[in-house]
A and B are shown apart, each in its own frame.
Chain A
C-alpha cells in the first residue's frame, strides 16, 4: 500500500497549482507583498506558515468534536497564537537578524486568511492525518508563490539571491553592472509585488482556461 492514497496526494498537490491559496483563492496577499523583497525572508516565512498551518490543522482536527461551534473562532485564534509565538521565539533565538527583517510579519501570521480559512473549511470536518496533509499542501502552495515572488524581486531589485551577488557588484561595477545595468528600485516596493502576483495569475490562467472566473 502506498504511503498516500490518491485522494491524499491531491490534498497536497492541488493547492500547488489549480487551487493555489494566493493565485486562485487570493488569500494571504498582505504577507506576500510585505516580506518578499528578499528570497531568504520568503523562504523562512513559507516554512513558518507551513509549521503553523500543519500543526494547527492537526490540533483543531483533534479537538473538532469538543469545540462548541459558537466559540470556535476564539479557540482557533488561541491555537494559532500559541504556534506563532513558538515560531517567533525560535526565530529570535536562532536567526535574530532574519527575525528583525520579518519583524511584525511573523506575529501577523495569526491574521493570515489562509490559516483560519483551512481551519474552518477543512480541519473542523476531517481527521488529523488528512488535515495535516491539507495544511502542508496549502502552505506549500502559499510558499511556492512567495518564493517565486521573492526570487524575482531580489534578483531584479537588489541583484542578489539569498544574499549572493549573482549579477556582479553594483558599486565596483563588475559583472552585468560593468555594461550599464542597474538594479530596479521599483522591485523593492510593495506595489511591484502585487504586479508580480498579477503576472503569475495571468500566466496561470492563460495556461489553464478553466480557471478563469465568469463575471
Chain B
C-alpha cells in the first residue's frame, strides 16, 4: 500500500477524533485529498494558501543558501582579519567554497529546524485543542525567522521566542489570517527586547565571536550600520558592491540585496506580493534618506553629532544595507497584516520605508528599525484601510448626491431629481 493510501486510512480512522486535524494536516501537506466536491459551484483555482506559501518559500530559498555561505565566509573572514589578512570577497574564489558551506550549514540549519519544529508543534497543539484544521500560515514564518536573527542566537532563545510569537502574535487573535502583527517580526521583536545582548553589538553577527570574546583569538564583525552609528564609517572596508551582493555581516538572510531583489521580482511576477507596497516603501526610505542628507548638507549638524555618521550616509545606500530590503520584500508585503486597499498600500508602504530609516538613524541602542517600523504600520494598517474605504464611500455619495436623474422615456416633462443621500 502506498504512503498516500496509508495516510488516507489514518485520516479516516481518526475522523471526528481529537487528533484528526493533525493527521489531516500531514495528508494535505503531502498529497491532494481523495475526496473532491462533486456538486454545486465552487472556485477552481490553483492558488490556494498552500501554493501561496510555497511560492514565498521558493523566493526565500536563494536567500537562505546565500545566508549559509555568508555565515561561513564571515566567520573565516573575521578569523583572517585577526591574523592581519585582509580578504577581498570574490564569488568563486573564496565565497562559494565547501568550507564556508559546511560551517554555514552547521550553524544556520539548526535555526531553521528549531524554528519549524517549535512553531509547527504550537500550531498542531492549537489545532487539536480548538478543533480546527492546521493552517499553512507557519510555513513562511518558519522560514523567515531563521533569516532575520543573528547567526549565533541560542536555540533555546529562538524556541522561547517562537512560542511567544506564534501564541501572542497569532493564535490569540484566532490563528492564520486573523493576526494583526506579523508573527515573524513579533518573534524578532521579542528576541530584541528580551535578550538585547544577543541581538546587537559587534559580537553577534559572526559565528563564534561570542564564544571567543576576550580570548587571544577574539573575532568580531560589526554591521555597516553599527560602524556608522559609532561614527567609524571611515574604518569600514566594505565597498558598495559588497553591500549590494551581500558579502557583509548581518542577520542570516538580510545581507544579499541582489537575491532579495530577484526574490521580490519573482513574488511580483507570481502576483503573491504587492508591488505597490514594495515601490512605496522604497520611495519612503529614499525620501527620509534625502531629508537626512539635506540636513547634513545644510550644515545643521556637524561631525561632532552622534547622528552624523548615519545621517551623512548616502540616501540610496540605506536600501542595500541592513534589513530594509528584506523587510520590504518579504515582511511588509504580508497580505494578512498589511493594508488591503490599493490606495492604502501606498501609504502603508511609504511610512514603512520612511519610519525605518528614521528609527535607524535616531535609535541610540541599535542602529536598525525595519522590524519596528513594519510592526508599527501593521498596527495602523486597518486604520489606513478604514479611511481609504470611508473616503471612497464619501466620494461616491457626493457623486450620487449631485447626479441628475433623467426621467424615463415616455414620462411627461423632463424633471430634474436630486438623489437622496443615504
Contacts and interface: CB of A to CB of B under 8 A. Distances in A.
Given A195-B168, A202-B172, A180 B193 contact: no
A185 B189 CA distance: 12
Contacts of A185: 193-196
Nearest to B190: A186
Contact of A180 (B154, B168, B190, B197): B154
Nearest to B172: A202
B171 to A, nearest CB: 10
A169 interface: no
A184 B156 CA distance: 12
Contacts of B157: 182
Nearest to B156: A180
Nearest to B154: A180
A189 interface: yes
A178 to B, nearest CB: 14
A187 interface: yes
A186 B194 contact: yes
Interface residues of A, number: 11
B168 A182 contact: no
Interface string B406-420: 000000000000000
A186 B193 contact: yes
A103 B394 CA distance: 50
Interface in A173-202: 180-182, 184-187, 189, 195, 198, 202
Interface in B241-273: none
A181 B156 CA distance: 9
A185 B196 CA distance: 8
Nearest to A185: B194
A185 B365 CA distance: 14
Contacts of A181: 156
A184 B195 contact: yes
A182 B172 contact: no
Residue with the greatest number of chain B CB neighbours at <10 A, chosen from A181, A184, A189, A195: A184
Contacts of B194: 184-187
A195 to B, nearest CB: 6
Interface in B145-164: 154, 156-157, 160
Interface string B125-157: 000000000000000000000000000001011
Interface string A138-181: 00000000000000000000000000000000000000000011
Given A195-B168, A202-B172, A182 B195 contact: yes
Contacts of A180: 154, 156
Interface in A12-50: none
A191 to B, nearest CB: 8
Contacts of B193: 185-186, 189
Contacts of B172: 198, 202
Nearest to B129: A206
A181 B159 CA distance: 13
Contacts of B168: 195
In the A-B complex, the 4 residue pairs with the smallest Cβ-Cβ separation, listed nearest first, are: A186-B194, A186-B193, A184-B194, A185-B194
7 contacts: A182-B154, A182-B197, A182-B198, A184-B194, A184-B195, A186-B193, A198-B172
Interface of B: 154, 156-157, 160, 168, 172, 190, 193-198
